[in-house]
């Protein structure tokens, strides 16, 4: 089985409410939907989205890279999951977000041709998984209100973005979350927003309210600095932006730099992310799959990734409701704090043509063999 045609369509989907972090502040999510066609008549999907909100320049770069690897993709003989091992060489020079989209589509192809899910292709089983609620509030009052709403909806964990406001404001919001829900698990994500001294000070103040972990407190490249933070506070430290490959993840684990690994397929590619998940199981380290605000295609792929190992904890995949539209017809909204991985063949989530057309950008193209 070989590919016969590759198509891509850019999208711009607004956020319902502003999603502000220490690294970004954008009104909409931009990405590419990929559709690949096999010579046997199968049509499959992937989402190539940058980490973060994305922009047109990144999408044009993805399209150019896609054209550059199209000949090699057309030459691939796709027989089963084992045949996808050649992708690492083909996609070694493309952006991880594009790798995520291509690998998702080819896993969708293998899954559909064999009548099994992408989770199964990656070595797992589709299942319903717990997810955390993402709090977008910038005031302590709104943080308390959103926390109470999360509890009412059945969430057992919340994640609060920090590091883009003064530390005193972050402390007030964390205190408000804890007061609103004494038993809930609180995760903080600083998105590299602090220096090492700021991180130590901030975490020591906030951990008085009980934290599950603090994610990426300092710059991704400052591994020594993150280790200093970890050794100076009582709260577990999670690595996100620092996790760029299975090798970097392994280094973070072996050097005692991170207690938790945050796994984003858009940063690693789907197959590399799967390797990180299985490595974490081998080292008995928590690995939390989170989204990068993808639409339904990318989100479904990340659900399959989370289901590829027996237990990945509470995932950060309850983000579909942040977007004005997910571009797919399947329901990907959490119910009582749980999100079901699609169980049908392949991806199990098909784009809605009307929605794709409504939010389409002018970045589009196609290549035939």
Q: Reduce the secondary structure of 229-261 to three states and give it as a string.
A: HHHHCCCCEEECCCCCCHHHHHHHHHCCCCCEE
Which residues belong to CATH 3.30.390.10 in the chain? 3-115+352-363
Share of the chain above pLDDT 70, in %: 99
Q: Which of 181-190, 312-321, 325-334 has the highest mean pLDDT?
A: 181-190
C-alpha span between 266 and 95 (Å, rounded): 9
Architecture of domain 128-340: Alpha-Beta Barrel (3.20)
Strands 213-215 and 185-189: parallel
Phi, psi of 116 (to 5 degrees): -140, 160
Contact 156, 185 (CB under 8 A): yes
Biggest alpha carbon–alpha carbon distance for the chain: 60
What is the SS3 assignment for 188? strand
Which residues belong to CATH 3.20.20.120 in the chain? 128-340
- pLDDT, one tens digit per residue, over 116-157 is 999 999 999 999 999 999 998 999 999 999 999 999 999 999
Contact 19, 271 (CB under 8 A): no
- pLDDT, one tens digit per residue, over 202-236 is 999 999 999 999 999 999 999 999 999 999 999 99
Phi, psi of 346 (to 5 degrees): 70, -140
Strands 128-130 and 133-135: unpaired
Give domain 3-115+352-363's CATH superfamily.
Enolase-like, N-terminal domain (3.30.390.10)
User: What's the pTM value of the predicted model, to 2 decimals?
Assistant: 0.94
Mind telling me the catalytic residues? 161, 264
End-to-end CA gap in the chain: 13
Over residues 253-277, the mean pLDDT reads 96
- pLDDT, one tens digit per residue, over 99-116 is 999 999 999 999 999 999
Contact 46, 55 (CB under 8 A): no
pLDDT at residue 22 above 60? no
Strands 157-161 and 133-135: parallel
Mean pLDDT of the chain: 94
pLDDT at 284 (0 to 100): 94
């Amino acid at each position: 089985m070989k590919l016969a045609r590759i198509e891509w369509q850019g999208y711009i989907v607004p956020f319902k409410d502003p999603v502000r972090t220490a690294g970004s502040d954008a009104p909409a999510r931009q990405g590419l939907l990929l559709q690949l066609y096999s010579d046997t008549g199968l049509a499959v999907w992937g989402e190539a989205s940058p980490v973060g909100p994305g922009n047109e320049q990144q999408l044009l770069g993805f399209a150019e890279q896609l054209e550059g690897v199209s000949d090699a993709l057309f030459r691939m003989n796709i027989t089963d999951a084992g045949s996808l091992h050649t992708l690492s060489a083909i996609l070694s020079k493309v952006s991880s977000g594009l790798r995520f989209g291509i690998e998702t589509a080819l896993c969708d192809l293998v899954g559909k041709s064999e009548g099994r899910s992408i989770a199964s292709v990656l070595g797992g089983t589709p299942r319903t998984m717990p997810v955390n609620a993402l709090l977008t509030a910038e005031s302590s009052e709104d943080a308390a209100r959103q926390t109470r709403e999360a509890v009412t909806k059945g969430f057992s964990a919340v994640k609060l973005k920090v590091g883009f406001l003064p530390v005193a404001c972050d402390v007030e919001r964390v205190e408000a979350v804890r007061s609103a829900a004494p038993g809930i698990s609180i995760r903080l994500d600083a998105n590299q927003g602090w220096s090492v001294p700021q991180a130590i000070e901030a975490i020591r103040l906030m951990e008085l309210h009980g934290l599950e972990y603090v994610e990426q407190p300092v710059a991704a490249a400052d591994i020594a600095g993150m280790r200093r933070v970890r050794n100076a506070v009582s709260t577990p430290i999670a690595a996100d932006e620092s996790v760029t490959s299975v090798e970097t993840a392994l280094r973070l684990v072996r050097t005692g730099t991170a207690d938790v690994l945050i796994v984003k397929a858009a940063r690693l590619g789907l197959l590399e992310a799967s390797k990180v998940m299985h490595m974490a199981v081998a080292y008995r380290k928590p690995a939390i799959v989170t989204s990068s605000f993808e639409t339904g295609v990318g989100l479904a792929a990340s659900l399959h990734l989370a289901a590829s190992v027996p237990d990945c904890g509470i995932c950060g995949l309850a983000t579909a409701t942040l977007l004005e539209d997910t571009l797919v017809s399947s329901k990907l909204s959490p119910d009582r704090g749980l999100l079901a991985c699609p169980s049908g063949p392949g991806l199990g989530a098909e784009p809605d043509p009307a929605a794709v057309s409504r939010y389409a950008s002018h970045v589009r193209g196609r290549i035939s063999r």
